[in-house]
Amino acid sequence: MQTSFFTDPGKFRRGNLHTHSTRSDGALEPQDVCKRYQDAGYDFIALTDHFIGQYDYPITDTTAYRNDDFTTILGAELHSGAMEKGNLWHIVAVGLPTDFKPPNAPHFEPVEGQESGASIAQRARDAGAFVAIAHPHWSSLTESDARTITAAHAVEVYNHGCAIENDRGDGHLSLEHLLDEGRKLTMIATDDAHFHTPDHFGGWVMVKTRENTADALLDAMKAGAFYSSTGPQIHDIRLNGMTAEVECTEAASITVQGSVACAPSLCGEKMTRGVIDFNRLKGSPWIRITVIDHAGKRAWSNPIWLDA
């Protein structure tokens, strides 16, 4: 969750971690989904079809669609247990083994006595997956709900499908409540693409690795060696005491957020570098940085823990 990965050897790989196909409720066959993402310039995707009995608990095998320029990571969107408001849990698990044991989740409604969301998230993490709490706003996630998923690596802070279809694609507040409680989580932007609507190519992660392989990508994500975006690129973040120096593609504003109300920022025309004094955030154990371009598109750093 620190910033050194920006200058580490390797290359940033663009990927989508939340995608669906005809193996669950998506519109396109798995091969077509992979082709669409590769043609759009992505380096990798994870197909995360809904892991419920209605679809025969799929972990969609996309290994045949890998090539020298594009890779895939196996995964699923897990569902089990009721949240506080009665909704079924949605948990993205990227890097699942194909023999991951299904819960008793026959459909999209909670079933009495079924495995909890916390339990299936922990099983996924124990099986080697990168685990994220999906679309908190869309799910009407409460703080009590969020606290139960102790196995999560990340919170989905931007879900393009939810943003496009019902303006509930945000998850930053849920993330920050957990950060304020000391949970060292990262944050991801995704599509949650089903291809029934313009829900694709809108949110992604940029992961720094030497190799474009599933194992290398998973290791980097678990280490926090990535940032998320809907458009801008972040080239480097350097901290010097209570000053942040950010290098990026052309930006209209660069902002530093923390656990207090104020958020120091710079605004300008086509900024590619910004130096921000964030002394007003003194006392916050963490900061995160947002870059916004002139089209209103954003890039987000992962939280940086100042005591690390």
Taking only the tens place, the pLDDT of each residue in 156-199 is: 999 999 999 999 999 999 999 999 999 999 999 999 999 999 99
Q: What is the mean pLDDT of residues 122-151?
A: 97
Same domain membership, residue 279 and residue 160? no
Pairing of strands 154-159, 130-133: parallel
Please say whether the beta carbons of 277 and 245 come within 8 A.
no
Is the Cβ–Cβ distance between 93 and 131 less than 8 Å?
Answer: yes
Shared domain check, 240 and 204: no
pLDDT of 246-268, one tens digit each? 999 999 999 999 999 889 999 99
Contacts of 15 (CB under 8 A, 6+ apart): 42, 43, 44, 45, 46, 204, 205, 207, 217
Contact in structure between 292 and 232 (CB atoms under 8 Å): yes
Q: Residues 48, 77: contact at Cβ < 8 Å?
A: yes
> Are both 163 and 43 inside the same structural domain?
yes
**Based on the domain organization, do 55 and 87 belong to the same domain?**
yes
Whether residues 251 and 170 share a domain: the answer is no
CA-based nearest residue to 82, from 126, 150, 144: 144
CATH number reported for the structural domain that contains residue 242 in this entry: 2.60.40
pLDDT higher than threshold 90 for residue 307: no
- Measured CA to CA, the distance from residue 231 to residue 40 in angstroms comes to 13
Per-residue pLDDT, 308: 64
Do 210 and 170 lie in one domain? The reply is: yes
Q: How confident is the model at residue 19 (pLDDT cuts 50, 70, 90)?
A: very high
Residue 220 and residue 170 share a domain: yes
**Structural domain containing residue 85:** 4-227
Q: What is the pLDDT of residues 74-114, one digit of tens each?
A: 999 999 999 999 999 999 999 999 999 999 999 999 999 99
In this structure, the answer to whether residues 301 and 270 fall within a common structural domain is yes
307 or 161: which carries more pLDDT confidence?
161
Q: Band the pLDDT of 3: cuts 50, 70, 90.
A: confident
Same domain, 238 and 147: no
Domain at 14, CATH number:
3.20.20.140
Does residue 102 share a domain with residue 63? yes
> At 113, is the secondary structure helix, strand, or coil?
coil
Quote the tokens at residue 101. 């044991």
CB 245 within 8 Å of CB 272: no
Domain count, the chain: 2
Q: pTM here? A: 0.97
3 state SS of 244: strand
CB 42 within 8 A of CB 16: yes
- SS3 category, 44: strand
